Amino acid sequence: MSRVGLVTRRSFLLGAGLAAGGLTLGLFGDEASAADPPAPGALGPGLAPNVMVHITETGVVTIVCARSEMGQGVRSSVPLLVADELGAVPERVVVVQAVGDKKYGDQNTDGSTSIRKFDDKLRRMGAVARTMLVSAAAKQWNVKPDTCEAIDGAVKHAASKRSLGFGELVKAAAKLPVPDEKSVVLRPWAELRHVAKERLPLLDGHAIVTGTGAYGADIKVEGMLYAVVARPPVVGGKIAKLDKAKALAVPGVKKVFEMPVPGKPWGHQPWGGVAVVADSTWAALKGRAALEITWDHGANAVYDSAAYETKLLASVRAQGTAHRTVGDVDAAMGKAAKVLEAEYLVPHLPHLPMEPPAVTAKFDGGACEIWAATQNPQLARTEVAKVLGIGEDKVTVRVTLLGGGFGRKSKGDFSAEAAFISREAGAPVRVQWTREDDLKNGYPNTVSAQRLRAGLDDKGRVVAWHQRTAFPPIGTTFGGPPEPSINDLQQGVLDLALDVPNIRSEACRAEPHARIGWYRSVYNIFHAFSAGSFIDEIAHARGVDPRDAWLEIVGPARKLSLEDLGIPKLANYGESLDKHPVDAGRLRGVIERVTAMSKWADRKTSGRALGLAAHRSFVSYVGVVVSVVRDERRKVRVDEAWIAIDAGRVVNKDRVHSQLEGAIVMGISNAMLGGVTYKGGIVEQPNFRDAKIARIGDAPRTIHTDIIASDAPPGGVGEPGVPPVGAACANAIFALTGQRVRRFPLLAGVKV
């Protein structure tokens, strides 16, 4: 029988700060890929010039993956990049998952950063080890290091046809001083032999298809109990009255206790409520159902999505704080031959990872060990330490596979909650969130209204662009003010390339009543929806091809300075504008590519209803075309989609393609079906019956993906595919039905 997830010394107690058994790179999911992890205690003697790379005297290379795997393929990509820089043979590379520890640098797997922020740093880790191996060989042969080459797990000297395996060099190399990582020379990108190939194996593929991969809920430790929590349905709610008797009477229920009441701001704190600890998940669930609780819902019980919409619209109908100003919008609107305006609404969008949060915690003797499906193990460590009142050095956070994350699992709440429950229960505990918990007690994307106005001159050219955006920013979850900041507006408002002489973009207030958080591509979802729909509306109002309108409004290929954009600064996803400029040429590039791929120009003759949109986010550029049809049941659905990305250099092409495919489907869920609403402060869609996401029949039969070849520094990949999908769908629906739907879920607004 499978012992997956059962914590054994082999699989988890690796010491040396490493977690999770190793798998070798380079194999196509053969069972042999489930190679034994390195021996417990440490990785043994060898060459370990930094925290990421270790080479044994037998030539086994261990590379640490410090980022969380949640479907983006990071474990199949990042270690390979290091291995490639080193010159290792993938079959002899073992990947181990890091615990949460600052020594690995930032581990928050969020914001589409794993490659764009770390590719240089990671490669340098491999290059340092390579430099030392090469120096050791050169010394032994008495030749110049630059006449040697590290390739296929050995250092070779071509002139004398000599070769020494990495393992043979480890002893001598380990005696050399470790070179400064900034001083080592990286291989030219084109010389990397494995990354950037069309098809790379999936490190965890075999484990996934055989059911042996360990996710958050698959960990079992000796003496473990199972828990669920009855959390207040409204954020900030409290227990008014509690009767535990019936719950305690359920066979298997061991303990029932109240959780700490969180104070404002909610941040990463557990949500409060009542924990039920039992000897099985089922008993815990039955115990929870038997609890008699009267809730005091608190101040957020006023939250009612229908009424709130009126407030949001009122907010964008009044003046906000201008963060982007070019020319004089008011004067230009006054002189315009025609003024168009439109308002767009996007509801809260839930993450709905297929795996709801699940954590195992073991509090013992003043220390705590956590096994969590977390995107951010360092934060989990901090939050666990905080809730237990112990030092972070007493907390170990081990990262399992994540059954999807999408931003939900970058929060610390569920890890801290499990730690608290383990301490109170006096036993190791696995806390399972149900789908209802996930929907009601999560951190959904925020809710927004947008108001756009365009002034056109007598030739139809856009001479004024005025945008207002209202949404409670995520900062409110952490105590910030209820108005989007200039940094929030980086997401698709300030960095929108416009060839328009008069521009004003304003942020408008919106009070939060939910605990909102970041969800894959975040504010870009609604900013790309409104701008992308509005450009299409302008095109139709003028009677021009939407593609031509896009290219005209974006303007000629050029890099836009802060002055061109009319902004004092741009957060730019933490990147400098020199490295990652706002490049209208690249935005045009994806529009041109995706319209060529989809045979946009032939759409009239082929009788297809196509919609186009494009967007820059996470310093990458994406263009999307979707085709919609009305099927036999008169249901409107996307039957085919095309998506092109310019993300600069990419490491793992197949995983980029798969991220884009996934982005189309998630974008369809968001736009066509998605969103949750609140009544009395409570999410009205408690499970997949009402909280709809795309099923196989809602997803296009064919998704065409393309990666624009580029030498530019890497941009994000995980998130940028999502934002343009919403407007592409709305624009395609307009092409099919003549109906302009300006709110998600689009399907609710189409009359068929």
Partner 1 sequence: MSIKLRVNGVERTLDVDPEMPLLWAIRDALGLTGTKYGCGEALCGACTVHLDDQPVRSCVTPVRRAVGRAVTTIEGLSPDGKHPLQQAWVELGVPQCGYCQAGQLMTAAALLKAKPKPTDDEIDQSMAGNLCRCGTYTRIRAGIRKVAGGQP
561 binds partner 1 (CB under 8 A): no
* Nearest to partner 1 of 295, 519 (CB atom): 519
Show contacts with ligand FES in window 508-567 (CB under 6 A).
none
Structure tokens at 279: 């000897």
Rounded to the nearest 5 percent, the helix, strand and coil shares of the chain are 35, 25, 45
Instruction: Tell me the C-alpha distance between 410 and 268, whole Å.
Output: 10
Show contacts with partner 1 in window 19-48 (CB under 8 A).
28-29, 31
> Of these, 474, 666, 708, 735, which contacts partner 1 (CB under 8 A)?
666
Nearest to 132 by CA among 45, 49, 61, 43: 49
Task: Return the one option of ligand FES, partner 1, none that residue 79 interacts with (CB less than 5 to 8 A, by type).
Answer: none
**Mask of contacts with partner 1, 403-422, x by CB under 8 A?**
xxxx----------------
404 binds ligand FES (CB under 6 A): yes
Nearest to 419 by CA among 409, 434, 429: 429
Residue count at the site for ligand FES (CB under 6 A)? 3
* Nearest to partner 1 of 194, 206 (CB atom): 206
Nearest to 152 by CA among 26, 29, 38: 26
* Nearest to ligand FES of 307, 354 (CB atom): 354
* Nearest to ligand FES of 209, 299 (CB atom): 209
Q: Which residues pair with 369 in a beta bridge?
A: 362, 396
> Of these, 429, 510, 663, 741, which contacts partner 1 (CB under 8 A)?
663
Distances (CA, A) of 456 to 87, 163, 462, 731: 58, 70, 4, 20
* Nearest to ligand FES of 434, 737 (CB atom): 434
662 binds partner 1 (CB under 8 A): yes
Task: Return the one option of ligand FES, partner 1, none that residue 478 interacts with (CB less than 5 to 8 A, by type).
Answer: none
Distances (CA, A) of 668 to 397, 445, 727: 35, 16, 10
Structure tokens at 377: 């193990």
Instruction: Tell me the C-alpha distance between 467 and 344, whole Å.
Output: 11
The pairing of beta strand 238-243 with beta strand 292-296? antiparallel
Give min distance, CB of 357 to partner 1, in A: 12
* Nearest to partner 1 of 569, 695 (CB atom): 695
> Of these, 86, 93, 99, 217, which contacts partner 1 (CB under 8 A)?
217
* 3-class DSSP state of 356: coil
* Nearest to ligand FES of 137, 439 (CB atom): 439
Give the range of 55-63, 118-126, 214-222, 297-305 binding partner 1 by CB under 8 A. 214-222
> Of these, 321, 654, 684, 740, which contacts partner 1 (CB under 8 A)?
654
71 binds ligand FES (CB under 6 A): yes
Give min distance, CB of 207 to partner 1, in A: 8
User: Angle formed by the axes of helices 119-141 and 74-86, to 10°?
Assistant: 30
* 3-class DSSP state of 230: strand
Show contacts with partner 1 in window 698-717 (CB under 8 A).
699-703
Structure tokens at 442: 């999560």
Give min distance, CB of 697 to partner 1, in A: 5
Q: Are 700 and 660 in contact (CB under 8 A)?
A: no
Give the range of 102-110, 130-138, 217-225, 457-465 binding partner 1 by CB under 8 A. 217-225
Give the range of 184-192, 196-204, 361-369, 486-494 binding partner 1 by CB under 8 A. 196-204
User: Angle formed by the axes of helices 584-597 and 546-554, to 10°?
Assistant: 170
428 binds ligand FES (CB under 6 A): no
Residue count at the site for partner 1 (CB under 8 A)? 75
Instruction: Tell me the C-alpha distance between 371 and 161, whole Å.
Output: 49
Show contacts with ligand FES in window 328-357 (CB under 6 A).
354
Instruction: Tell me the C-alpha distance between 546 and 526, whole Å.
Output: 20
Show contacts with partner 1 in window 349-378 (CB under 8 A).
352-356
Q: Are 618 and 724 in contact (CB under 8 A)?
A: no
Give min distance, CB of 355 to ligand FES, in A: 8
Taking the CA atoms of residue 733, residue 738, residue 742 and residue 744 in that order, the dihedral angle to the nearest 10 degrees is -30
* Nearest to partner 1 of 31, 292 (CB atom): 31
Task: Return the one option of partner 1, ligand FES, none that residue 35 interacts with (CB less than 5 to 8 A, by type).
Answer: none
* Nearest to ligand FES of 209, 307 (CB atom): 209
* Nearest to partner 1 of 434, 739 (CB atom): 434
Instruction: Tell me the C-alpha distance between 515 and 477, whole Å.
Output: 6
Instruction: Tell me the C-alpha distance between 30 and 11, whole Å.
Output: 19
Nearest to 403 by CA among 570, 239, 211: 211
Contacts of 432 (CB under 8 A, 6+ apart): 217, 226, 227, 228, 281, 284, 356, 358
Task: Return the one option of ligand FES, partner 1, none that residue 421 interacts with (CB less than 5 to 8 A, by type).
Answer: none
Q: What is the DSSP letter of 698?
A: G
Binding interface with ligand FES (CB under 6 A): 71, 354, 404
